[in-house]
Structure formats: structure tokens, C-alpha cells
Structure 1
């Protein structure tokens, strides 16, 4: 399995609880208690994370160009200031202190359109400037789209642009290949989709389908698919109308407002939420997986259905996902115009951009309602910390100005 190379970069972290520590890339960072003068920063934070892989020179204005790659065990979400009550009180502070910015003052910053994610991909994959074209490099590596689905029927296309021969001696195959399908956020990016319980895939070689690392015969013809083919991916999940009111909250996304808040030291006004998914959390996720009755995944080759590939898949939110082996190259099409028409009742993945913003807004509102008292306390503690630090700084400079 390919190993992610590390690149040095600085990030600043602010925890919801000042005494907590946060581990990134085998380094533990603990909040310090230092005072220093701010330059052009709008908030106060306290510590630095040294190693994290970054995406650089991204043309998509909705995705940070100084933002860490998601990797096994760690996830990062770009954020922006939320329009919270009395937000004017939290605007500017002249000094950075040991106080921690309450994460609930920020909200997820969602991309305005669906594309392949510059951050949710194995860093060896080469993502094109259109954020739809991607090229492989060496062993199987995976990339996810920016948006996921948890209900309804959704469709996207993949055009197989290039399938060069493998020139590496003793390689397992003489031709490069791809896998396409659907994956949850917990899937491993350094492996092909279909390798774990969190993903389902269709492979170009022999047209084999994969789940939990096990391949099964799928297509009547063993040639699979190849360069020049256009592949369709359909996922069919229960509709909103079929979901009971009691379970409705389970399909809403997380607000992530209880996460750690991180600031990029290279761009002072750029923040993200950070979460760690350790072995224990992953074990709990695996144990909580339940089959979703009536759900299914279907694949299409050049406009013709190859039949249902998977039924009663595990419940959860699924991202369009692609895996590339060697130097294969593909282009994703999330709609609304496809080369081959999808089933009449399926939605194009591009429609998820607006829907996701609505769902995230509802989630954030519910968070503020359910945690009103705790939020007020955090706000009061934060403002008190700022006042205390400002007075300390004034005393230090008194008589020296």
C-alpha cells in the first residue's frame, strides 16, 4: 500500500477545551500560554501543528489553497465565520492569547458546485485544473467527490480517457485500470474503493465488482470496460418521504461545531475544523453499520445498464469515488448534461451542491437550539478571557509607550 509523503507546513490550532491535546501526523500538540501581539488576525489561537500535507495553487475559490489533505485518522473541514448572535462582540482582538476560540463561532464552508475534492484524495493522484479530470500514479489510490448523498437516487458519469500499458517489471497486470463507485468518508484513500466495508466499486478489469476486498462476477462479458468507454454510477437510497420523522435527524450532516478549530499560519484568516478518527472510533463505526433495506447500486456502460451490482448496502452518506492504478486517466461528469441519459427518476450529482447548503443550515440551527445554555457559557468565558488578556497587555506596555 502506498505511503503518504509528508510536507512541512504550519497550522495553528484552537481547541474547544484549552487543556486538550490534538495529535496530527504522530505529533502531539498541547495548548500553551503565550502572549504575543497580533498583526492581521481576527481571532486568538495558541498552538502550532508542524507537519501536514497541503493543497497548493488550487484555482477553485471555494477550496482553500492552504488546506491540509485528509488522511487516515484525520479529517479537516474548511470553515467561515458563522452569523451567530451578537457576532460583533467576537470580531477583532488586538492580541493573541492562551484563550481558545469557541468552534461554534464558525461553520462549514461548502463548495458551490460538485467536483472531485482536492483534499479528499491520495496526494499522489494528479487532479486537473477543472477538478474533474484526474490521473493515477503507481498503485491504486482513491479520490472522493466534494459532496455526498444519504437519501434519494443519484447518478454521475465517468469517461475513461486513457489506459496506458504498465511498464513496471513484475507488475501484477500489463495494463492500467480504474475502479468507480461510492464510498463513505471513512474509506481508505491509499487503497482502491471496495477494499473496506465503507465502499462499493466496479473494476475495469473483467468488470468485477468489489466490497470488503472481495470481488464478484458482475457483467456477462468478461472484457470489463476500457479506454473510450463512458461509465454510469447510480445509487438508490430511501427517499425522504419514506424516512420516519424520528430518524430524519440521522440523515442530516454533522455541524462539526464541537471539533477543534485550526488556523493556517500562512494565511491568518483561513480556518478549518479538525477531527481525529482513531482506531476506537473506527471500530465503533464498523460495529454500528446496518444494512439499508431496499438500497442498491447499479452501473452502466455506454448508456446500457449492466444490472444491479449491490443491494441492501450499509447505511450512511456516500460520495462518488474513483480509484486509479498506474497512469490511467478519467474525467468525472456530475451533470446536469450527460453523454448518456440516466434513469428518468435519478438526480444528477450536481444538484447536491444547493441541497447540501440547505441541510447544513438546518443542522447548524438545530445545534444552536439544542446547546443554547452551553453556548452562552462558552461565549461568556471567551469574552472574559479576551478582557483579562487585554488588561494584562495594557499593564505590560504601561509607561513604555
Structure 2
């Protein structure tokens, strides 16, 4: 019965064979996988049968037309489009490599040889006596109005420079300092309409909020400085009502912090308010001192900052930080040093020579972090995703530094830690302003947190950067601070509290090293020993420890800077 069924159900043999037998079974449309896989490498996405020929024809026509256009522009034969893989164009690849090298190369300036006066020791600002203000302990302070110097404006940063005969290749100039040669308030890094003493230790204003920063910044380790209120909220008196002789705010600020506002105004500074001893960040005061405890005239406020090592800092800003592995700061590694690159050009302002540098800009992410209505944020920060600043944040400018903090002291008594997890500042967390001559992601060696002080309508204060403090914190007895043996501090030195005054000497050493590296770099780019290097061959000025440089040759003028003092 079975054989009969098979015989009856069998189809007749076709009279002729098909012209082509398929070697591979074609999958039905409903069984076709949506994407290719290792087991189905030749599978293509589904397409409508009616549109397939038309799409193929259009794609082929578009390819031919683009080939004709390329042939007409280049004037060469078209490449073989039937080849499975196109051969890379050697010229194109070399051009890309050249562009990448140019992006990392410093900006080249054609400078004329220095003049004779460029070898003279630079002078500080001109001090014009303004008024005398009573200080603490019946010591009057002579305040001056500073003039004939440049101010750091939005977009540009200035440092003093001097011509150096040991830099004959292309730079000619090196960075230098002006009197007084110590850690002090920076005359160039202050807002306008501020009055200082000639030592750069006392400051006041008759205007609204103005800020001044120190001439030294810190990048890692523990550092301490003091500020004494000489004019502000007077001592409480039972028979007198509340009054004020002005206000003072103190703290730490980055390069990007605006000078025409108090410390703690934006996300680039952390401040302490004299009223109620409140801590301020992004213009949001929060209670810190006990209720009823203000910062009054005669009080000495100590500020300690604690920053992790640059090795850990760079891991964070470069996105390599792993909380499970990097929970402990082991200090710097000997060979883990990022290059310091400075794009700057010497300019002339009246009788002074300065290096002009493109400054770092405020970022959109931190501006939106200050937004009181962050719902409209579009950067993926707190407003858009609810993601608070964190060491592993999506945006480098919103990454924080573990093991970082700012501790406050009042008259020698520790008041507690005001801020923790401070925002990172190394590139790409800090970015230079996008303009001709600026390069993204570079560190000029001057990024960091600077001691900062703000005064308001008669408020006055005196800074003390050490080494002798009015109220030294515990662990900083006189002679107890030990300098590191090398430029890279060890783990123990990172955790040793140090006066800001020691940072002044370190900055000078760093500037000398960076200047030499810049000169050697240009010398090598120009060919070095085997190249044709154009050097300064004029008369060499003689060096004198008292008189600096003298002599030289006359040359064409470099750029003249015009800046209003207002």
C-alpha cells in the first residue's frame, strides 16, 4: 500500500532540466534575519521588491556622477570601483599626519631682535598715594592707587618678561618677576579701582565688589594662608547698634574666576562670607559658622586647601579614573609628567614688557550648573540628566577631585571643612578661548587655585602667605615644613601642610625650566646643530646683579599694547 501511494503521488519527470540550479537556498522574506551575523555574513536588510531595481539604479548613477566630478576636478583617471578595498592615498595620509602635528605645534611669531631697554630689570606699577586707613593695633596703612601697568582682562593673561642674551634663537625673552619678590597680591591680577599698599599685602576699595588674586597658584598638596580683617563688621557693642565699615570675602579661585565679583560668585571660586560666616559657592550662601558668629574686624581667618596629586588629577580629567582602583592617592609617578606648553608673545605696554597669553574661558557646562532653573539645561549636566558633578562625569569640566577639600580656621581654631570634592582644573576641564593662536587641551603651567580676596565699599584686609603666621595650624610649627627633594613631591610631602610662600620659589624654578625647554624646542624645530638657525648676533650686554642688563642693539618695535585703566 505504501508503494502504491508513493507511485501515485509522484510527479512526472520534467521534459527538460532548468538552465541554472541555485547553489544556495534563498531565505523567504519572513524568515530572513534583520541584520548580518557571523553565521549569515551575506544577509542584507529587507527591501521592498518593487523598489530594489530603482534604488540600485539610482545608487549606480550617483556613483558615476560623483566619479565624473572627481575626475574633472583632479584631472586623473578614476579609481577602480570594482576592487573590494581601496588603496589609501599616501598624500592624503601624510597630509593628515602633518595637520595633527601642526595642531600640537606652538604658534610661531616672527620677532625682531630686542632693544637695549628690553634687557633692563622690569619695574612694577607706579604707586600714587591715595589715603591712609587705620589698621589693627593702631598701625595706619598707606594705600596707593596703582597705574602704568596692565590688568588681566577677559580673554588675556599677562606676565612680566625680560630679554635674555642666552636665548638667541627665536624667543629672545624669558619670564621674570617684579618687586617685591615674594608671595603677595598680584598687581596685574586685580580688578580696577582697588587700592593696595606697596608690599601687596593690604587691599581695599571704595566701589562695589572687587577681587584680587595672589601671584602664586597651587596645583597639588596641602597649602595654607591667612587673612586678617582690618575694616569690616565692627566688634559687637551692647550700647551701639549694628553697623558696617564694608565687607570682605576670602577663599580660593581659579584662573577663570571673574575679578569684578566676590569670591564664590561662580563655579570657579570657593568663598567665605563675613556675614554669619557663611560659605559661598556659585552665589549660593550656606550656613557654616554657628548661629550668631560673624567674621569681624580683627579676626584672622585661615584657609587650607587640600588637592590630590597631578597623576590622579590627570586620570580624572582624561577619563581614566576608576573608583575601585584609584581609591587611594599614591602621589606622582616619576615619568608621569604632562608637557607644559605656553603660547605667548612679548608685547610692550608703556615702559613695561609683558608676555601676552590667551586665557582660559568659562565653559557652558559650569554656566548651566549655576542656572537656578536647571530644567532647561541641554548639556547633560545636572539639569538634563540629574547627574551631579562627579570624578567620572560625562563632561570633564564637571568632574571633581577626590581627596580634595577646603578647611577654615578662625583665630587659630579649626571651624571645619567648608568644601569637599572640588572641581578639577587641568585640561580638558579648563579650555583656552577659541581664537587665532589658541590650542585646545594644553596646560600652560599656571592653572590651579589661587588665594583670593574680595572687598566691598570700604572693606579692607591684610593677607599673610607665611612662613610666619599669626595662628599657624596644627602640624605647621616653625621649622617643621620640609621642602621636597625634587620637583615631584612624594606622598608624604603631598599630605604635609605648607605655607603658600613656599610655592613662590617653586614657580620661579618651573618658569626657568619651561623657558629653557621652549627655547630648545624652537632651536630644534629650526634644524638644531645641522640646520641654518638665525641667531641674534648683535653686541652682548653685560650682566650685573645690581643693574641687570645693559647695552644691546636697537631693533624694530614689537607689538604695542593699548589698555585703559578703567
| TM-score in terms of structure 2 length | 0.49
Separation in structure 1 between the aligned mates of residue 216 and residue 128 of structure 2, nearest angstrom: 18
Conserved 8 A contact 1:368-1:375 = no
Q: Which residue of 2 aligns with 1:79?
A: 161
Separation in structure 1 between the aligned mates of residue 258 and residue 115 of structure 2, nearest angstrom: 39
User: What displacement does 1:134 show?
Assistant: 0.7
Q: Which residue of 1 aligns with 2:288?
A: 218
2:308 aligned with 1:238: yes
Q: Which residue of 2 aligns with 1:347?
A: 498
Q: Is the partner of 1:67 in helix, strand or coil? A: coil
User: What's the CA shift string for 1:166-203, capped at 9, x where partnerless?
Assistant: xxxxxxx9632111111112210000111122111101
User: Which of 354, 360, 363 matches 2:511?
Assistant: 360
Q: Which residue of 1 aligns with 2:202?
A: 133
2:224 aligned with 1:155: yes
Q: Is the partner of 2:514 in helix, strand or coil? A: helix
User: What displacement does 1:214 show?
Assistant: 1.9
2:211 aligned with 1:142: yes
Question: For the structure 1 residues 273 and 123, does the alpha-carbon distance in structure 2 shift closer, same or farther, using more than 3 Å as the test?
Answer: same
User: Which of 511, 514, 525 matches 1:374?
Assistant: 525
Q: Is the partner of 1:353 in helix, strand or coil? A: helix
Q: Is the partner of 1:249 in helix, strand or coil? A: coil
Q: Which residue of 2 aligns with 1:120?
A: 189
* RMSD of aligned Cα (Å): 3.5
Separation in structure 1 between the aligned mates of residue 364 and residue 344 of structure 2, nearest angstrom: 18
Conserved 8 A contact 1:156-1:234 = yes
Name the larger-Rg structure. Answer: 2
2:337 aligned with 1:248: yes
User: What displacement does 1:162 show?
Assistant: 1.3
Conserved 8 A contact 1:67-1:78 = no
User: What's the CA shift string for 1:214-266, capped at 9, x where partnerless?
Assistant: 2222122343211111110101112476134565327xxx563x3121023x3
Which runs of no fewer than 5 residues in structure 2 stay unpaired?
A: 1-106, 130-145, 235-241, 311-329, 367-394, 426-447, 476-495, 538-553, 555-566
Question: For the structure 1 residues 220 and 379, does the alpha-carbon distance in structure 2 shift closer, same or farther, using more than 3 Å as the test?
Answer: farther
User: What displacement does 1:17 show?
Assistant: 3.7
| TM-score in terms of structure 1 length | 0.68
User: Which of 383, 403, 410 matches 1:301?
Assistant: 410
Separation in structure 2 between the aligned mates of residue 65 and residue 138 of structure 1, nearest angstrom: 17
User: What displacement does 1:362 show?
Assistant: 3.0
Q: Which residue of 2 aligns with 1:393?
A: none
Separation in structure 1 between the aligned mates of residue 532 and residue 420 of structure 2, nearest angstrom: 47
Q: Higher strand proportion, which one?
A: 1
2:357 aligned with 1:275: yes
User: What displacement does 1:55 show?
Assistant: 3.9
2:158 aligned with 1:69: no
Q: Is the partner of 1:363 in helix, strand or coil? A: helix
Q: Which residue of 1 aligns with 2:436?
A: none
